[in-house]
Amino acid sequence: MENELIILTLSLIAAATTAGFLAGLLGIGGGIILVPALYTIFSYLQYPQDYIMHIAIATTLAATIFTTLSSAYAHYKHNAIDYKFFKLFAPAIITGVIVGTLIADMVTSNILLRFFGIMLLILAFLMFIDPSKLSNKIRKTPKIIHFVVGSIIGCCSTLMGIGGATFNVPYMVLNKLCIRNAIATASLFSLCVAFPATIGFIIAGYDKLDEIPYTIGYINWLCWLLIVPITVFIAPFGAKATHIINVKLLRKIFAVVMLIISIKMLYSSFIT
């Protein structure tokens, strides 16, 4: 049992380190790595099957708060955040988060697992697209379109346990934001996803997981305590590595990894 706990702890440290590095390097949240890792760990620990994905998603989003807060503050210091677009898009994102939290609480873990796998396939193909190369020919998007798109992004991000930058950045570039401002503003949108979703998952799961140790609502605070300092510490190294590593090549490699993870998650959803 002791050896198993050591292996599980080392696996979580490795996942948190990878998530933090990629967050800094590619501007994506760690959910794409952390959710599958936590799902695997909680499955191994034989957590109730009906709630494994709920706990993995909620714990990841709670851990994302500090990573995105650190990133958003760094962009704030460089005056890179587009507050006009933020004020326009944030209410829609938060609305989508509320809807996503309610949906997550009503559906089974298996449905969340399949949704994650399908959406990860879509995100993998988006990773092959360089946002800076998108044509920003949209003249003016109606506010209602912003609200619908933002709500969908907020809802899908919550159901996946990600910050949503992979969706947000291309959309903002299409709406005439330069890639630098889009990435900076996306970090603030990720905070708009992570913070309210964390509160929602605490409330939604508060009386459902009393038998599972180290949980508050759907959040496993023991894993949270391990993930947060690692991701916050490692993320700046990823940011510095953007000047050394071929990011475009790495995006394509990571896209392939995402495809493999999505296939594995979908396969798991049909055999459990």
Structure tokens that stand for 96 in this block: 């989508």
Burial of 122: CB neighbours in 10 Å, binned 0-12, 13-18, 19+: middle
pLDDT at 256: 84
d(CA 82, CA 183): 10
Cβ–Cβ < 8 Å for 238, 22: yes
Please tell me what DSSP assigns to residue 79: T
Looking at residue 3, what is its pLDDT?
A: 65
Q: What are 101-116's pLDDT values in tens digits?
A: 999 999 999 999 999 9
Q: How confident is the model at residue 257 (pLDDT cuts 50, 70, 90)?
A: confident
| Averaged pLDDT for residues 237-249 | 71
Within 10 angstroms of residue 54's Cβ, the number of other Cβ atoms is 27
| Residue 178, phi then psi, degrees to nearest 5 | -70, 160
| Confidence category of residue 152, pLDDT binned at 50, 70, 90 | very high
239 sits in the region (left: phi over 0; alpha: psi -120 to 50; else beta) called alpha
pTM, whole model, 2 decimals?
0.88
Contact 85, 175 (CB under 8 A): yes
Residue 27 banded pLDDT, cuts 50, 70, 90? low
The set of residues, in sequence order, having a beta carbon less than 8 Å from that of 165 and lying 6+ positions away, is 27, 28, 29, 183, 186, 187, 189, 190
- Model pLDDT for residues 60-79, shown as the tens digit of each residue: 999 988 878 877 877 788 78
| Residue scoring higher pLDDT (248 or 137) | 248
How far is Cα of residue 93 from the mean position of the Cα atoms in its chain? 14
**Interval 215-230 mean pLDDT:** 91
Mean pLDDT of the chain: 85
Report whether 109 contacts 50 (CB < 8 A).
yes
Tens of pLDDT, residue by residue over 114-141, are 999 999 998 888 777 776 666 655 567 7
Q: According to the per-residue pLDDT averaged within each range, which of 47-51, 192-196, 234-238 is highest?
A: 192-196
**φ and ψ of 125, to 5 deg:** -70, -35
pLDDT of 136 reads 57
Helix 221-241, helix 31-44: angle, nearest 10: 150
Which segments of the chain are extended strands (E)?
A: 215-216, 219-220
